[in-house]
Amino acid sequence: MISQNITFLAFLYFVQGLPYGLQTWFLPVYFRSRGMSLSNVGFFKLLLTPWMCKALWAPFVDRFATKKSWLMWSMMGLTLTCVIGSFSGPDFLSQLAAILFLFNLLTSTQDIAVDGLAIQILSSSELAHGNIAQVVGYKIGAVVGGGLLTWLSDYLNWMMLFQCLAAVYVFAVFAAWMFIPSNPDHFHDDSLTPNTCSKNSEEISQETNKCDIDDHSMQQRSENIGKNEVKSAFLLIIDHFKLMLRPEGTIWIAVYVLLYKLGEKGSLSMIPLFLLDQGLSTSVVGLWTGMMGQVVSITGSVLGGVIMSRYGQSTLGLLKTLSVIRTIVLVILCSLISAWSSAYQIFIAPAVIGLMLIMLLISGYITTATFTLMMECSQRAPASVQASHYTTLATLEVLGKLTFSVVTGWITDMTSYSIVFVLFTCLSAVIIPVFRYAPSILVQSTSHRRNKSR
C-alpha cells in the first residue's frame, strides 16, 4: 500500500516538473514554429543553469532553517514569479528570459529541500516506491507543463496559462504548510528511518560509523566558530564537501550520471524539432512528443520501480542491458533520419515516432533505477550532508543532460540532422564500458535488495 509520505512526495515532484515541461517541450516547439533558429532554441536552455549550480547553495539548505521553511518560501516565490510572468508575453524575450531564470533558481532550491525531506522520511523498504513517486511525479508535471500547455495554448492566452500555474503553486504552498511538520521525525517511527535501518553488509556499517565520527567532529567545529571567523566557515564548507565524497561508490555514480543521458537526451530533444521541420503540424508533434511520449516514459518509470521492488532484479545488470538496447534503437533511428524522403514520409514518420516512444520507455526505466542507486548512496552518508550529497549527484545528472543539449541546435545548424544523430548514437554507446568499473558496494546493494524481495 502506498503511504501518505510517498503520495505527498509525488505531488511535490509534480510541482517541480511544471517548469521543466514548460521549457523542454512547450517553448522550443512554440519558438521553432515561429521561425527561431535551432541555435537560439538550444541556447535558451542556458536559463536552466541554476539546476547545474544548485550544489553550491545546498549546504545552506542543509544547515540553516528547516526543509519546510525552504520549501514554503521557494514555492511562494514561484507563485509570485508566475503572476509576473502572466504580464510578460513571449514577444518580450528579455523579460521572459529573466522570469524563467528566476523560475529555475526557485525550483532548484525547492528540489534541494524536497530531496532532503525524501531522504529523511523514506525507509529502506520505501526507496523503490519513493523513486517511482519522484520520477513519475516529476514527469507528470512535465506533461502538464509541456504537452498540456501546448494543447491549451490554442484555447487560452499567455496570461491565463501562467495564472493557472500560479494557482497550482498556491495550492502547493497550502498543502506543504498543512502536511509537513517542523520536525521530519514526526512522519514515522524512528525505527524506520534510513539512518537507523539495518545495513546490507559489515563494510557499509563500518563506513557509516567512520562517516558519523567525522560528522560529529565537523559539528563540534561548527559550534566553535565565531560569527566573524570567515576562514573557519570556509573550512567548514570544505569539510562538508569532503564528507560528501566519503560513501563508497560516490565517484563512480558521479561519472555515470554525467554520461548516461548524453546521447539519449540530445536525440529526444531534437526529434520534435526534426519532425516540425519536415512539415508535421505543431499539434501532432506536441501530442506525440509532449503528451503521449511522456505517458510512455512514465510507464517505463513505474515498471522499473515495480520490477526492482517486487522482483529484486539487479539494478546494475539491467541498466547495462537497457543501455545496449537504447544504443541499438538509436542506430536504427539514425538510419531512418538519413533515409528521410518526402515521398516516403507517410511510412518513415510513424517509424521515427515509434522508435522515440521505445526510447522513452527505456529512458523511464533507466531513470528510476539510476535515482534509486543515487538515493541508496546518499543514505550511506552522514545525516548532516545527505541532502547535499544527493543534490550534488542530481546536479551532475542535470549537467550531463543539459550541457550537450544546449549546443545540439548549433551543431545541427552547422551540419545536418543526420550527422548530429550519429553523434548521439556514439555518445549513447560511451556509457556501456563504464559498468565494468562499478564498485563492489553497489553490486552488494542491489544483491541485498534482491535477497530481501525473496
3-state secondary structure the chain: CCCHHHHHHHHHHHHHHHHHHHHHHHHHHHHHHCCCCHHHHHHHHHHHHHHHHHHHCHHHHHHCCCHHHHHHHHHHHHHHHHHHHCCCCCCCHHHHHHHHHHHHHHHHHHHHHHHHHHHHHCCHHHHHHHHHHHHHHHHHHHHHHHHHHHHHCCCCCHHHHHHHHHHHHHHHHHHHHHHCCCCHHHHCCHHHCCCCCCCCCHHHHHHHHHHHHHHHHHHHHHHHCCCCCHHHHHHHHHHHHHHHCCCCCHHHHHHHHHHCCHHHHHHHHHHHHHHHHCCCCHHHHHHHHHHHHHHHHHHHHHHHHHHHHHHCCCHHHHHHHHHHHHHHHHHHHHHHHHCCCHHHHHHHHHHHHHHHHHHHHHHHHHHHHHHHHHHHHHHCCCHHHHHHHHHHHHHHHHHHHHHHHHHHHHHHHHCCHHHHHHHHHHHHHHCHHHHHHCCHHHHHHHHHHHHHHC
Looking at residue 39, its pLDDT comes to 83
Q: Is the pLDDT of residue 394 over 70?
A: yes
- Structure confidence at residue 426 as a pLDDT band (50, 70, 90): very high
Q: Tens of pLDDT along 406-419?
A: 788 888 888 889 99
| Averaged pLDDT for residues 67-88 | 86
Looking at residue 194, its pLDDT comes to 38
Q: Is the pLDDT of residue 346 over 60?
A: yes
Looking at residue 19, its pLDDT comes to 82
Average pLDDT, the chain: 77
Looking at residue 376, its pLDDT comes to 81
Residue of higher predicted confidence among 55 and 225: 55
| Averaged pLDDT for residues 206-220 | 50
- Structure confidence at residue 196 as a pLDDT band (50, 70, 90): very low
Looking at residue 452, its pLDDT comes to 47
Looking at residue 312, its pLDDT comes to 58
Picking from 183-197, 259-273, 288-302, 337-351, which range would have the lowest pLDDT averaged per residue?
183-197
* For the ranges 49-63, 76-90, 216-230, the one whose mean pLDDT is highest: 76-90
Number of Cβ within 10 Å of residue 241's Cβ equals 15
Percent of residues, the chain, with pLDDT higher than 90 = 10
Q: Is the pLDDT of residue 190 over 50?
A: no
Given a contact cutoff of 8 angstroms between Cβ atoms, the answer to whether 170 and 46 are in contact is no
Q: Is the pLDDT of residue 186 over 80?
A: no
| Averaged pLDDT for residues 338-366 | 87
Q: Is the pLDDT of residue 159 over 60?
A: yes
Q: Is the pLDDT of residue 226 over 50?
A: no
